[in-house]
Chain A
């Protein structure tokens, strides 16, 4: 299974940008990088995904290193509602691209 490494937790102030790092050194050339988040007592929510180029959507931006061994999820202005567990993962191209969830990063946002 593809493996990712993330910090256990991070803290941010409200209205400030947050950069959540992820290492995926064993990624293969055709694996996409996906980010999901899980708010308390809810199912995971898709955030963003990319392959090689940086990606932007209404929720966040994804910066992918040139060698694709790491990526950074960027929340441009953190709000209290962004407090969640953020999971970075690569889509395992075997077995129907099941999502292999690691421990994730607990993001705390201070007002």
Chain B
């Protein structure tokens, strides 16, 4: 079946511009997660959704980062006034529920380069 998809796969933007990254989770998955992975490093949790609600936004690096989810489906991660340190691969994952007994399925990621 269809997995998690993300778009665009690559995005190059100038410093100061806004960018939107999109995630389409597996159909029926109520939980959705965003992570960031800088070059050569591990994954950093950003935010998760249970349905359309985001109970935990503590991982967002700054107020330039925001995310929303609609229809318990697609999610958008928005970065305003991008900075060079925002360059990274942004990964989305979905899970049937948020319970620890369920695995997460990851998308291929969006590689963001801020010049």
Contact = CB atoms under 8 A, between A and B. Distances in A.
Nearest to A33: B100
Given A96-B55, A96-B56, A101-B43, 19 more contacts: A30-B100, A36-B104, A44-B43, A44-B93, A46-B106, A49-B101, A95-B48, A95-B55, A95-B56, A96-B50, A97-B99, A98-B33, A98-B59, A99-B33, A99-B35, A99-B104, A101-B42, A102-B42, A103-B42
Contact of A42 (B35, B58, B108): B108
B67 to A, nearest CB: 13
A84 B87 CA distance: 23
A90 B103 CA distance: 11
A91 B59 CA distance: 16
Interface in A6-65: 30-32, 34, 36, 42-46, 49, 51
Contact of B48 (A42, A87, A98, A102): A98
A32 B101 CA distance: 6
A80 interface: no
Given A96-B50, A98-B59, A100-B45, A91 B91 contact: no
A99 B43 contact: yes
A14 B58 CA distance: 43
B25 interface: no
Contacts of B109: 43
| Interface size grouping (class) on chain B | 20 to 34
Given A43-B106, A46-B103, A96 B98 contact: yes
Interface residues of A, number: 26
Given A95-B48, A96-B50, A102-B42, A46 B105 contact: yes
Contacts of B44: 101
B31 interface: yes
Contacts of A95: 48, 55-56, 58
A52 to B, nearest CB: 12
A51 B103 CA distance: 13
A51 B106 contact: no
7 closest A-B pairs (Cβ-Cβ)?
A91-B100, A43-B106, A32-B100, A46-B103, A101-B43, A96-B98, A95-B56
